Homo-oligomer: A and B are copies of this chain.
Amino acid sequence: MEYRNLDHLKSFKILKGSKPVNIKSELNEERVDTYEMEAGSSLKFNYAALPVNDHIITILQKLSIEQDLVEKFKLILSGETMNPGEGRKVLHHLTRMDPPSPVMFKGKDLREFYSEQQDRINIFAGKVHSGQVRGSTGKKFTTVVQIGIGGSDLGPRAIYIALKEAVGKELMMNAKFISNVDPDDGASVLSDIDMETALFILVSKSGTTQETLANRDLAVRWMNKKNSDLNPAKHMIAVTSATSPLAESDDFLDSFYIDDFIGGRYSSTSAVGGAVLTLAFGKNVFHEFLKGAADSDMKALEPDIRKNAPLMDALIGVYMRNILDYSVCAVLPYSQGMARFPAHLQQLDMESNGKSVNRNGDPIDYKTGPVIFGEPGTNGQHSFYQLLHQGTDIIPLQFFGFIKSQQEVDIVIEETTNQTKLNANLTAQIIAFAKGSTNVNPNKNFAGGRPSSLLYGEQLSPAALGSILSHYENKVMFQGFMWNINSFDQEGVQLGKILTKQILSGKSEDKTLLKFASKLKI
Question: Which of A87-95, A213-221, A238-246 has 4 or more CB atoms under 8 Å from chain B?
Answer: A213-221
Among residues of B, the one whose C-beta sits closest to the C-beta of A424 is B503
Whether B182 and A165, one on each chain, are in contact in the complex, defined by CB atoms closer than 8 angstroms, is: no
A393 at the interface (CB under 8 A from B): yes
Among residues of B, the one whose C-beta sits closest to the C-beta of A419 is B183
| A182 CB contact (under 8 Å) in B211, B422, B436 | B422
Whether B337 and A184, one on each chain, are in contact in the complex, defined by CB atoms closer than 8 angstroms, is: yes
A426 at the interface (CB under 8 A from B): yes
Residues facing B in A480-513 (CB within 8 A) are 486, 489-500, 502-504, 510-513
- How long is the Cα–Cα vector from A356 to B444 in the complex, in angstroms? 11
Whether B431 and A513, one on each chain, are in contact in the complex, defined by CB atoms closer than 8 angstroms, is: yes
Give this chain's copy count.
Answer: 2
Residues facing B in A81-128 (CB within 8 A) are none
A429 at the interface (CB under 8 A from B): yes
- How long is the Cα–Cα vector from A405 to B180 in the complex, in angstroms? 12
Whether A419 and B382, one on each chain, are in contact in the complex, defined by CB atoms closer than 8 angstroms, is: no
- How long is the Cα–Cα vector from A355 to B390 in the complex, in angstroms? 5
Whether A493 and B389, one on each chain, are in contact in the complex, defined by CB atoms closer than 8 angstroms, is: yes
A284 at the interface (CB under 8 A from B): no
In the assembled complex, which residues on chain B have CB atoms less than 8 Å from the CB atom of A401?
Answer: 520
- How long is the Cα–Cα vector from A41 to B454 in the complex, in angstroms? 46
Q: Report the minimal beta-carbon distance from A174 to chain B, rounded to whole angstroms.
A: 11
Among residues of B, the one whose C-beta sits closest to the C-beta of A382 is B150
Whether B424 and A522, one on each chain, are in contact in the complex, defined by CB atoms closer than 8 angstroms, is: yes
A328-B371, A424-B500, A516-B32 as given contacts; A179 in contact with B444, CB under 8 Å:
no
A383-B343, A446-B495 as given contacts; A522 in contact with B423, CB under 8 Å:
yes
Whether B382 and A188, one on each chain, are in contact in the complex, defined by CB atoms closer than 8 angstroms, is: no
Proximity string of chain A (231-242) to chain B, C-beta cutoff 8 Å, 1 when within and 0 when not? 000000000000
| A356 CB contact (under 8 Å) in B183, B355, B392 | B392
Whether A513 and B379, one on each chain, are in contact in the complex, defined by CB atoms closer than 8 angstroms, is: no
A387-B369, A512-B32 as given contacts; A179 in contact with B379, CB under 8 Å:
yes
Question: Which of A11-19, A194-202, A298-306, A407-415 has 4 or more CB atoms under 8 Å from chain B?
Answer: A407-415
Q: Report the minimal beta-carbon distance from A406 to chain B, rounded to whole angstroms.
A: 5
Q: Report the minimal beta-carbon distance from A198 to chain B, rounded to whole angstroms.
A: 17
In the assembled complex, which residues on chain B have CB atoms less than 8 Å from the CB atom of A503?
Answer: 424, 427-428
In the assembled complex, which residues on chain B have CB atoms less than 8 Å from the CB atom of A420?
Answer: 504, 522
A185 at the interface (CB under 8 A from B): yes
In the assembled complex, which residues on chain B have CB atoms less than 8 Å from the CB atom of A436?
Answer: 495
Question: Which of A52-60, A69-77, A137-145, A345-353 has 4 or more CB atoms under 8 Å from chain B?
Answer: A345-353
A461 at the interface (CB under 8 A from B): no
In the assembled complex, which residues on chain B have CB atoms less than 8 Å from the CB atom of A361?
Answer: 441-443
A sample of 23 cross-chain residue pairs with beta-carbon separation below 8 angstroms, ordered by A number, consists of A46-B519, A150-B382, A180-B376, A180-B379, A182-B378, A184-B406, A211-B378, A211-B382, A213-B413, A327-B328, A343-B383, A354-B384, A361-B441, A369-B387, A371-B393, A386-B492, A386-B493, A387-B492, A389-B493, A424-B517, A428-B513, A431-B513, A454-B519
5 tightest Cβ-Cβ pairs between the two chains A and B: A354-B387, A150-B382, A428-B499, A354-B391, A373-B373
